[in-house]
Chain A
Amino acid sequence: DAKTTQPPSMDCAEGRAANLPCNHSTISGNEYVYWYRQIHSQGPQYIIHGLKNNETNEMASLIITEDRKSSTLILPHATLRDTAVYYCIVRVGGGGADGLTFGKGTHLIIQP
Chain B
Amino acid sequence: DVKVTQSSRYLVKRTGEKVFLECVQDMDHENMFWYRQDPGLGLRLIYFSYDVKMKEKGDIPEGYSVSREKKERFSLILESASTNQTSMYLCATSMVGNYGYTFGSGTRLTVV
A44 lies within 8 A of B48 (CB): no
A43 lies within 8 A of B49 (CB): no
Give residues 39-59 of A contacting B (CB, 8 Å).
41-47, 49
Looking at the assembled complex, report how far the CB atom of A91 sits from the nearest CB atom of chain B, in whole angstroms.
10
Looking at the assembled complex, report how far the CB atom of B66 sits from the nearest CB atom of chain A, in whole angstroms.
13
Sorting the interface of chain A by its residue count into under 10, 10 to 19, 20 to 34 or 35 or more gives: 20 to 34
A104 to B44: give the CA distance in the assembly, Å: 12
A102 to B101: give the CA distance in the assembly, Å: 12
Closest A residue to B35 by CB, please name it: A99
CB < 8 Å neighbour of A99 from B48, B100, B103: B48
A67 interface residue per 8 A CB criterion = no
Q: Which residues of A contact B48 (CB under 8 A)?
A: 97-99
Looking at the assembled complex, report how far the CB atom of A37 sits from the nearest CB atom of chain B, in whole angstroms.
11
CB < 8 Å neighbour of A93 from B92, B98, B106: B98
A32 lies within 8 A of B98 (CB): yes
CB < 8 Å neighbour of B101 from A32, A94, A100: A100
A44 to B92: give the CA distance in the assembly, Å: 9
A90 to B28: give the CA distance in the assembly, Å: 25
A95 lies within 8 A of B97 (CB): yes
5 extra A-B contacts, CB within 8 A, seeds A43-B92, A97-B56: A36-B101, A41-B106, A43-B104, A95-B97, A99-B35
